Amino acid sequence: MKEEAVIAALGALAQDTRLRILCYLVTMGSAGAAAGDISKEVGASASRTSFHLSTLSDAGLINATRASRSIIYRVNFEAMGSIIRYLVHDCCKNDPRVTSCC
Amino acid sequence: MKEEAVIAALGALAQDTRLRILCYLVTMGSAGAAAGDISKEVGASASRTSFHLSTLSDAGLINATRASRSIIYRVNFEAMGSIIRYLVHDCCKNDPRVTSCC
DNA sequence: TATATATTTCAATAAGCATTGAAATGGGAG
DNA sequence: CTCCCATTTCAATGCTTATTGAAATATATA
């Protein structure tokens, strides 16, 4: 994974509303959640939620698919794995104090 | 690890100069590196490097110790482990696509 | 077509972060 | 004590991100 992509992903996660959105979408698994439901869940306005969802989406951490009037968002677990792999392998050179996390 | 601390750490890592500083300090291990050497290594001015070092230090990702006129910085591997553990365990609920990183 | 629902986009404002160079601090050597 | 070296702090500027509410887009239903 390129450093640039890692920085975009870390920046996307480094915000409380977005981190909560991501954690919520993890719990929803493959079912995902509609933008409106996410908005209610994290207590943010529709436009603010939409903005944060596009930030997460631009960073590749979530995917969007339209289902009728709703847009369903799901976590991209492979992308999450990639950035963690970058931090553990490339950045921390597999130091045991870091790899002990898994 | 508290969500607030995780956000500070992710935000600290989400910047190219700081990510390069951290990767460099990983390679220096327990020997660490002086602020001036880090500055040369990443090609940033002294004041800019100092600013980034204090951001990383405030986030708990590195430690500083004075050695005569120089200040030596070292990676806090335990802290790196903690934020990765948060992402893998708490956020991603140990999803296999994520835990496969280690 | 008209209407309602779901979501995004836009413009404006506010807040925070990055960068620069100059000045200040802290420590060692003559 | 004075000078020098290493680093940090400060003030000013520009850039990016966050937030808000209103308007626009897309889809479904009557």
Question: Each residue of B18-59: pLDDT tens digit?
Answer: 999 999 999 999 999 999 999 999 999 999 999 999 999 999
Domains, chain A, with CATH or none: 3-99 (1.10.10.10)
State what percent of residues in chain A have pLDDT above 70.
100
Question: Each residue of A4-42: pLDDT tens digit?
Answer: 999 999 999 999 999 999 999 999 999 999 999 999 999
pLDDT (mean) for A48-77: 97
Among candidate residues B50, B82, A56, the one with its CA nearest the CA of residue B18: B50
pLDDT of residue B12: 98
Residue written as token pair 């607030």: B4
For an interface test with B, give the residue of A17, A19, A84 to mutate (most B CBs within 10 A): A84
pLDDT of residue A40: 97
Question: What is the C-alpha separation between A51 and B9, in angstroms, rounded?
Answer: 22
pLDDT (mean) for B61-70: 96
pLDDT of residue A1: 86
Q: Is the pLDDT of residue B101 over 90?
A: no
CA angle A68, A37, A61 (to 5 degrees): 85
Q: Which residues pair with B65 in a beta bridge?
A: B72
Name all protein residues with C-beta less than 7 A from any atom of nucleic acid chain D.
Answer: A 11, 15, 17-18, 44-48, 51-52, 55, 66, 68-69; B 34-37, 39, 46-47, 49-51, 53-54, 64, 69-71
What part of A 20-49 touches B (C-beta under 8 Å)? 22-23, 26-27
Tokens of B73: 């910085």
B54 CB neighbour count, 10 Å cutoff: 12
Q: How many helices (H) and strands (E) does chain A have?
A: 6, 3
Question: What is the C-alpha separation between A102 and B100, in angstroms, rounded?
Answer: 8
